[in-house]
Structure 1
Amino acid sequence: MVGLGLSLMQYVGVALTSSCPKVRIQCSSNVGVSRQQVLEKVDKELARGDDRAALTLVKELQGKPGGLRCFGAARQVPQRLYTLDELRLNGIETLSLLSPVDTTLGSIERNLQIAAIVGGLAAWNAFGISPQQLFYISLALLFLWTLDTVSFGGGIGSLVVDTIGHSFSQKYHNRVIQHEAGHFLIAYLVGILPKGYAISSLDALQKEGSLNIQAGTAFVDFEFQEEVNTGKVSATTLDKFSCIALAGVSTEYLIYGFAEGGLDDIRKLDLLLKGLGFTQKKADSQVRWSLLNTVLLLRRHEAARAKLAEALSMGKSVGSCIDIIENSMDVSDL
């Protein structure tokens, strides 16, 4: 299923510490350049895999007139313990967000299983397959399923089901796009640079050349990894990535009234909090604050999210998507 491409969620056992498109700006090189020119350079650096250079370019424009006014500029709610009643007063039902069940893909999987059984019976009758031949065919299919599970983490099966979902269910296709737009937008607003995205498993395979990588959004997170290497993760960093992790399910909830995708995002966040040694009460507090903060940001910037989703559906580059966000938002609304 569509997931959040966060390598940080794999780390556990560390400690926690407390629009005007052509406006010209000055970078550190003292050469006047337009925002579009810099974002084109950002795209090139990301394509080369130089995350540091890309982030440096973005930070040089951060907060400057005509530059990147919205990067890391989100106005967030105070960090404290919020009750479930307080979340409900803000129109947030946690059960509809934190227990996603992908009924669309589940239905596709069941239909494929039924079709396989019916097709097998039809082939048995049509070609007179003997019980021994049927046994060997079943054994071969079991071997292929095991190979996919062990070698590719179920990637081949996920690729087939996800491709069918995108091809035959417009609702599923749209939901995935909105889900990833939520991840992308929240990351940008809290100051984490997106570095790429894939709307489908097939898209991920074409971009990354691996069956082990599914659809999702990836981010420039080397700063987090550096914190991990020192044995400490700051509260600020944790807050940012908690919001990003919950942005997909929050977006689905706001649009459809419930979330179907994003179960893997929630599991990774839960694993991270446990690895940090959080008690259940402290983990609940972190999740509730993150949900409230994320939902309020998404509500406030619904128009930008909608335009961003359209850009993702068209396969726009990260730099182009950032430019769309900047042109869609008023700094006073952040």
Structure 2
Amino acid sequence: MEQTSLNLVAIAVFVMTLSALLSPVLNISPFIPAATTFAVLGLATVDSFSWGGKGLTLFLDLFTSSEERKRIIHHEAGHFLAAYCLGVPITGYSLTAWETFRQGEKAGIGGVQFDFSLLSDQEKVSRNPLIVERTFTVLMAGIAAEKVIYNNVEGGEEDKQNLRELLKILGLRAELYQQKENWALLQAKNLLIRHQTAYEGLVKLMERRASVEECQQLIQEKMN
């Protein structure tokens, strides 16, 4: 099961247990919380195996607070700015689960879509290892943005996992993973601070769902 579905299952079990304890006090039939809980568990199971967790993600997206949405935009703007500055092609972005779903992307609350196809060209990568280093920085730029703006991080686990998968593919030893992650995070943080004006303007444009081309044009103008 997806982690979100597992969390819902845990909540459902807790609610059923609590309801069973309180039903005599509140004069509620124990059948009602039990039936509701089993229904939720059934839907979560079907959603996880048939939809890959998309249904639940879309449902929970309806309850995302405005502050969480702002944090998501700041996170994704970090990825966007880093990718543009480091020459990683950007093919699109989404900022909510519904936008992601409409674009036909995998389940998630949103994200910037990159073209990492250059990494598959071993000859170019071997001639220019900076391609890989720049990719690391782009992957960590969302976390760096949260650190710069909020002084803490709530998202980015998938970014870290993608970085570790890439390090694994490249054949680096596991004990070097944290070192590479810290290095990329520092590079991304410095980049965002150096181009703070462009970053702030990009956040505002992405809030309005401006096109990729409009966002790139703004970054170029601010950097000039």
Q: TM-score, normalised by structure 2?
A: 0.80
Q: Secondary structure at the match of 1:164?
A: coil
Match of 1:222 among 109, 117, 136: 117
Deviation at 1:264, TM superposition (A): 1.0
| Residue 292 of structure 1: how far off its partner (Å) | 1.8
Structure 1 position 173 matched with structure 2 position 69:
yes
> Partners of 2:183 and 2:106 in 1: how far apart?
35
Out of 188, 203, 222, the residue aligned to residue 99 of structure 2 is 203
Identify the match of residue 60 of structure 2 among 156, 161, 185.
161
d(CA) in 2 for partners of 1:233 and 1:214? 36
Pairing of 1:145-294 with structure 2 (within 5 A): 145-165=44-64, 169-208=65-104, 212-227=107-122, 235-294=129-188
DSSP 3-state at the match of 1:212: coil
Unaligned runs of 5+ in 2: none
Distance in 1 of aligned mates of 2:207 and 2:139: 21
Counterpart secondary structure, 2:172:
coil
Task: Give the distance between the partners of 2:144 and 2:173, measured in 1 at CA.
Answer: 24
Q: How does 1:1-334 map to 2 (within 5 A)?
A: 131=31, 137-165=36-64, 169-208=65-104, 212-227=107-122, 235-330=129-224
Cα deviation, 1:99-157, whole Å, max 9, x if unaligned, reads xxxxxx9xxx7xx869x769x78xx89997574x7655543332211111222232222
Q: Which has the higher contact order (CA 8 A, sep 6+)?
A: 1
Aligned partner of residue 179 in structure 1, secondary structure: helix
CA distance in 1, matches of 2:163, 2:55: 25
Is the 8 Å Cα contact of residues 100 and 110 (structure 2) preserved in structure 1? yes
Q: How far apart, in 2, do the equivalents of 1:128 and 1:246 lie?
A: 50
For residues 199 and 29 of structure 2, the distance between their equivalents in structure 1, rounded to whole angstroms, comes to 55
Bigger mean CA deviation after superposition, 265-274 or 301-310: 265-274
Structure 1: 5+ residue runs without aligned partners? 1-104
CA distance 1:117–1:293, shift in 2 (3 Å) = same
Larger radius of gyration: 1
Equivalences, count: 214
Identity %: 27
Distance 1:143 1:170 in 2: 30
Contact 2:119–2:125 (Cα < 8 Å) also in 1: no
**Once structures 1 and 2 are overlaid, which stretch shifts more, 267-276 or 181-190?**
267-276
Q: Is the 8 A contact 1:155 1:213 kept in 2?
A: yes
Contact (CA 8 Å) 2:125, 2:131: kept in 1 or not? no
